[in-house]
Chain A
Amino acid sequence: MGVNLENRHLRRQHQQQPTSGWSRRPDVGRLDQPVRIYTLGRFSIQLEGHPLYGKQVRQGRPVELLQALISLGGRDVGLDTLAQALWPDTDGDLARNNVEVTLHRLRRLFGVKNLLLLHDQRLSLNSGLGWVDAWSFERLVNHAERLLPLAADPVMVRQLARVGERLMALYQGNFLERETTSTWPLRLRERLRSKLMRHILGIGRVWERVGEWERAATYYRRGLEIDPLTEALYQRLMICCRETGHYGDAIAAYLRCETMLASHFDIKPSPATQSLFCALKR
C-alpha cells in the first residue's frame, strides 16, 4: 500500500526524541529509521515501509532540495550552497528565501520531527531517522575495500561475500541519473560508480583466488552491464570462462570487447587481451 501525500493522517509527527549524535554506521543492522530514501537507479521514498507518491514527490522543489542535500553530503550543508545549487540564476537573498520556504515544505511533506536539522544556517539529514541507499552503499564499499587485503583469511572471504551481495543489491543504477540534469549529483554519482567498478575487479580477483570462477564471472558480467568499455573486465571474464571450460563464452567475451573498442575508439584490444584470446584458440 502506498502513502498518498494527500492523506493528512499519514503525515503524523514522530514523537521520537532527537538523536544525541550521528550514528557512525546507521545502515548496518538497522531498519528502524522511519524514512528510507532510494537514489540508486531510481528515486523513491518510503515512510514507515510505505512508498510516498504524489505530485510533490515526482516533481516538487522540496524533493529537489532533498536530492541536492543528499548529493552535497547530507550533513552541515550551507543554505547558501543549496540556494546556489537549486536557484543558480536567482539573486542571493531571493534564492536563500526560496530555500527556507522549500525546506518548510519538505518538512511538511515528511512530517517527521527532527529529520531535517538546521543549525547555524547549515542543513543536515538526520541519519538516525533517515536512511539513504547511496550512503549505505558508500559505507559498505569502503568497508569492503578494507577487507580485500585480508581476503586470505576464510572468515574474511565469507564476510566479503555477504558485503559484496549487499552492495550489488544496493546498486540498482547510477545515483539520481534519471532525476535531474543538474550538475550537483555528478560528484557523488561518479564517485560511487568508480568505487563500484573498483570493488567488482577487487572482489572478482578474490573469488578467482579461491577457485570460485563462476561467482567471479557473475561480478565481471555485472560490471560490464554498468560499463561495457572496461577492458580489464573482459580479460578477467575470459579467464573465468576458460577455467570453467566455457571456451565459447570466453571467445564471445573477447569478440564483444573487440566490437565495443572498435565501435567506440576504433582501437583493437590490448596485447594482453589479444594474447589471452590467442591462448584460447590453441
Chain B
Amino acid sequence: MSTLDWTIATGLLIALIVAAVYLGRLNKSVADFILAGRKVRKYLGMSSGTAEGLGLASIAASLQQGMQNGFALIWISIILMCYTVPVFGLIGFGIKRFRATLCMTIPQFLDQRYDPRLRLLVGVILALSGILNMAIFPITSSYFLVAFSGLPEVFTWGAWTFDTVHVCMIALVVLAVLFTFLGGMVTVVVTDYIQATIVVSAMLFVGIMTLTELGPSLIHRTLTDEIGEAAFNPFLRGSYGLTWIVWVFLLTTVNKLAFAPAVQKMASADSPETARKMELLQSIFGMGMRIFLLLIGIGALVSLGGVPAGETAESYFRFAGAIHLRETLPVVLMGLVFAAFLFASLSTDDSYLLAWSAVIVNDIVQPLFKKPFSPKAHIRIMRGFIVLIGLFIIGFGLTYDPQESILDYMYMTGTLIGGIGIAVFMGLYWSKATTAGAVSGIITCAVIPLADLFGKQIVGDRYPLTTQQSGLLALISAVVVLVVVSWLTGRGRVAPGWVDYGVEVKRLDAEEKGAR
C-alpha cells in the first residue's frame, strides 16, 4: 500500500475515533449504554445490523465462496429468503414479542418467564460460547488484513522483532474495546452506521469495477471452464440436501432469539414494529451485498486462476481474494478498501464485546448482589468486563493455531446456544412451557452437537451421523424434550411466569399507528 493509501485509512479511522469520543458523552443511563435508550429507528438499526453481520471473516468467506462455487450460493440465499422474509420480516415471528418484553438480554427474559436460576445458567453458557466464538475473529481478520496490505510477516523496531499479524490483531482488539468502552450502544450503533456506509460503498465500487474491467463473457467463460454447471446450481455437488435445508431453517429460526449481539440490536429498536422492519430490510440487504462479494471472488478466480499445483484448495482460496484485490486496486481505492476491511472487523467485534459484557454483568454478576448497582457503577463494571474480554481475546489470538478447522470451531461454539433460542420461542408463544422443560431442552440441544464433535474425533468416519443430521436431530429433540417435560411437570397448567406478549404487541402497534 502506498503512503497516500495509509493516509486515507488513518484519516478515516481518526474521524471515527473522534465521533466515538463525542458520542460517548451522551450516555446517561444503563439503558443508553446497553440499548441506545431503545431509540434506534429502522434505517439506522438496519445499517448497524448489517455492519455487525458483515465482519471481515464473513467477507473473506464470501470471496472464497465466489472463487470456489461461483454464483451457486445465491440460490441457497434465495431459498432461505423465501422463508425468512415472510416469517420474520413480514410477520415478525418472535421478534416483535421479544421486543415487547422490554428485556435487555436473553437470560433476563428467561428469568422473567421461567426461573431466576435459569438466568445464571444461560448467562454462563451464552457468555462462554459467545466469547470463545468471537475470540477467533480478530486473529483471522488480522491474517486477511496483512495479506491484503502486503505488509511483511515480521518487522523490527530497535532490537525487537515483531510478528505483524499479532501486532495487527492487538490493534484491532484495542480499537474495538475503545469504541465499546467509550459510549456503549450509542457509539456502536452510530459508528456501525458510518462503517457500514464505507464498507458497502467500497464493496459496491470494487464489484462494479470487477464487472466492467473483466466483462460478462470472460466471467462466464471462466466459471464454465473452472467450475462448470455447479457455478450456477448449488445442488449439483450433492452437498445440500433436504436434511441440510431443514436444519438451516430451524437453526436460523432459533438463533434469531439466541444470539445475543443480534438480539441486543433488536431490543434497541424504538418499537416492536421497527424491530420487524429492521429484520425485513436486513434480509433483503444482506442478499444484495453477498452478490457483490461473490462477484469480487469470481474476479479473483478470473485473474488468478484455479488452485496451483502443490497447494491445497483451502490454503489457496483463504487469502486469494485479498491478494487479487491488492494486485488490482488502484491507489486511493486501495486505502478506502483497507479502511472498509478494518471497519468491517471493528463493527463486528465492538457489537459482540458489548453484547457479551452486558450478559456477564446483567445476568451473572448483578444477580449475585442483593442490591442493584447504581447506573454509574453498572456502566463502570461493564467497562471493566469489556477490557477483560479484550485481554482474553488478545491472549487467545497470540496462542491460536490457525491449522485447526475454523468451521468445526465455529460449529462447536455456535450450536451450544440453539436450545436457548427454543426456550425463548416456547416461552413467548406457549403458556405451558415450564422451567424443567426449558432446562431439559437447552441441555439436549447442547449435548448432541458436542457428542458429534467429540465422537468424530474418537471413532472418525464410523460415527453414525453426519454433521447435518446431528444438528437437525439436536434441534428437533430439544423441541420434543421441552414439550414432553413441560407437559409432565406442568400437567397442562399455565406456567406461573407466563405473559401473553401478543396482546402487548397489538397495543404498541395500535399506538404507533395512532401516532402516525
Question: Does B associate with A?
Answer: no
Where the two chains meet, the residues of A that have a C-beta atom closer than 8 Å to any C-beta of B are none
